[in-house]
Structure 1
Amino acid sequence: MPLPRVGIGVDVHAYADAASPRVLMLGCVAWPGERGIEGHSDGDVAAHAACNALLSAAGLGDLGSVFGTDRPEMVDASGTEMLQHVHGLVEGAGLVVGNVAVQLVGSRPRVGLRREEMQAAMSAALGGAAVSVSAATTDGLGFTGRGEGLTGIATALVVPEPDG
């Protein structure tokens, strides 16, 4: 009997220059008024960590091997588009997404204010799979504590597609 598979994913991005017009994208949701993230794509650490966790669980590589920064079509790609693509890859491998849990590490933004919106947006990108989002600070320690960037850490559970 095939067993469920679990994967772990991490993504880290620095904040863009304070004068940058980039809008923060986090959990497939725009955060106007918050400092944006530097990145080849939209820099959505929640979506990217979830992609990494799903790819790991499915044995399909990682974000770099699927969406390499050497690909010009990935410039400003959205976390939503990336999650949708990874969802297709996971299904193509004969697996179903059980759930994804994402932990965001940073002092800003206040994730609790929009947690449900982020969970719904990420779930929609994954065909309705359960997504949970939580957050933590580092009590001023490290680059996230100094307000230099954000980290996303995710776990994902995938299960073999049931026989027809």
Structure 2
Amino acid sequence: MKIAALLLAAGTGSRFGGPVPKQFAALAGRPVLRHAAEALLAGGQMTWLQPVGEAESIAPVLAGLPHLPIVAGGATRQASVRAGLEALAAHAPDVVLIHDGARPYLPPGTIPALLAALEHHPGAIPAVPVADTLKRGADGVIAATVPREGLFRAQTPQAFRFPAILAAHRAATQDATDDAALLEATGLSVALVEGSERNIKITRPEDLPRMEHDMTARMLPRVGTGFDVHRLVPGRPLVLCGVVVPHELGLDGHSDADVGIHALCDAIYGALAEGDIGTFFPPSQMKWKDADSAQFLVHAAGRIAARGGMLVNADVTLICERPKIGPHAAAMRARLAELLGVEIGRIGVKATTTERLGFTGRGEGIAAQTAVSLLVPA
């Protein structure tokens, strides 16, 4: 089955009222939208991820994640969904999941439940029964009490058989606030599957600390360390922490030999108890010959996301006499933060020497040691 995920990030977030739209606000060190994208991709079921919104804002947030070219959004949510569906039409997915970029957390069972419901219905949404008594108001007073029996709060992602929802959008004459309403208008059934109170849509600034507390309260800290060494040789570029550093020598290795990234990957894999960089990218495989180590770090970050975790911080120490690392440290921090999808304040890069002792002191090679702190669900 070919499954596409439509990730909506075109809204201006007028109710949020912050300096940036809510989907770009920082949550546990990363933009809300990044959390939402990783939640959709974590289970490995998605064939395509189709972002919708302003490419200039979205592209840096999704750096390193696999996705289709970003589609510009419309004046309304419905117009944005329609634009994304039309872009997906060329790929002809069997199923599409339409998700709000302001919903950063998906309970692990949500997507499987939606896909199972689509075996019997053309649409399915997660929903939570209304628990509070509902009042209809007018002029600041109660006008009526609304019976809550049979009422649900709709959530996303909403899942549909692709041809059905595309046809519903093309035929729509009303501006719907959710996509299920358009399918309902055509007379097709939409199943309800169990939603979750943790599937929060960020709407107001106070939602961020509440969501962050909820995300971290069920997690345990994990710490990992990494160490790597490569020999300096002529005729190779010197790549350190994802940055090409001018130097007469470069590091020798099967890939680009970026000791900083290699040690950082080992720290992450170690914290997750998933082995080391050689477990996933063995040097015996020629496809990794001269490979850009950035892709290794993106994979390591993906493993954190797949486990439902988050990076608290990472610290890299480069050990060498030359070149001087200080002038390049800011660029290295920025590159590592981009690859890991976190704010730069969570990444440290520094250097030290061995007082001209040992192989690093003689300028024969460069070493790196790293430490990371993660939060991972218990």
- Please report the TM-score for the alignment, with normalisation by the length of structure 2: 0.41
CA contact (8 A) 1:15 1:37 kept: yes
Trace 1:1-150 onto structure 2 (pairs within 5 A): 2-16=219-233, 18=234, 20=235, 22-129=236-343, 130-150=346-366
Cα distance in 2 for partners of 1:161, 1:132 equals 25
The CA deviation at 1:161 is 5.5
Cα distance in 1 for partners of 2:230, 2:323 equals 14
Q: Deviations over 1:44-64 (max 9, x none)?
A: 111111001011111111011
Consecutive unaligned residues of structure 2, counting only runs of 5 or more, are 1-217
Q: Percent identity?
A: 38
> Any runs of at least 4 consecutive aligned residues in structure 1 with deviations exceeding 3 A, and if so which?
none
The CA deviation at 1:34 is 3.8
Cα distance in 2 for partners of 1:160, 1:124 equals 21
- Please report the TM-score for the alignment, with normalisation by the length of structure 1: 0.92
- Residue 68 of structure 1 aligns to which amino acid in structure 2? P
SS of structure 2 residue aligned to 1:114: helix
Which structure has the larger Rg over C-alpha atoms? 2
CA contact (8 A) 2:220 2:375 kept: yes
Consecutive unaligned residues of structure 1, counting only runs of 5 or more, are none
SS of structure 2 residue aligned to 1:101: strand
CA change 1:96–1:161 in 2 (3 A) is: farther
- Residue 142 of structure 1 aligns to which amino acid in structure 2? G
Cα distance in 1 for partners of 2:377, 2:339 equals 19
Q: Deviations over 1:94-146 (max 9, x none)?
A: 21111110001111111101111000001100012521001100011000001
Cα distance in 2 for partners of 1:66, 1:55 equals 10
Structure ranking higher on relative contact order (CA contacts 8 Å, 6+ apart): 1
Task: Name 1:158's counterpart in structure 2.
Answer: 374
CA contact (8 A) 1:25 1:42 kept: yes
- Residue 353 of structure 2 aligns to which amino acid in structure 1? T
Q: What is the Cα-based RMSD across aligned positions, in Å?
A: 1.5
Q: Deviations over 1:10-63 (max 9, x none)?
A: 0100012x3x2x110001001133411000000111111100101111111101
SS of structure 1 residue aligned to 2:355: coil
Cα distance in 1 for partners of 2:248, 2:334 equals 20
CA contact (8 A) 1:96 1:161 kept: no
SS of structure 2 residue aligned to 1:68: coil
- Residue 43 of structure 1 aligns to which amino acid in structure 2? A
Cα distance in 2 for partners of 1:148, 1:134 equals 20
CA contact (8 A) 1:34 1:109 kept: no
CA contact (8 A) 1:55 1:61 kept: yes
Q: Report how many aligned residue pairs link the two structures.
A: 159
- Residue 8 of structure 1 aligns to which amino acid in structure 2? T
CA contact (8 A) 2:320 2:367 kept: yes
Range with greater deviation from structure 2 (125-134 or 40-49): 125-134
Range with greater deviation from structure 2 (37-46 or 120-129): 120-129
Cα distance in 1 for partners of 2:248, 2:299 equals 27
Cα distance in 1 for partners of 2:268, 2:254 equals 20
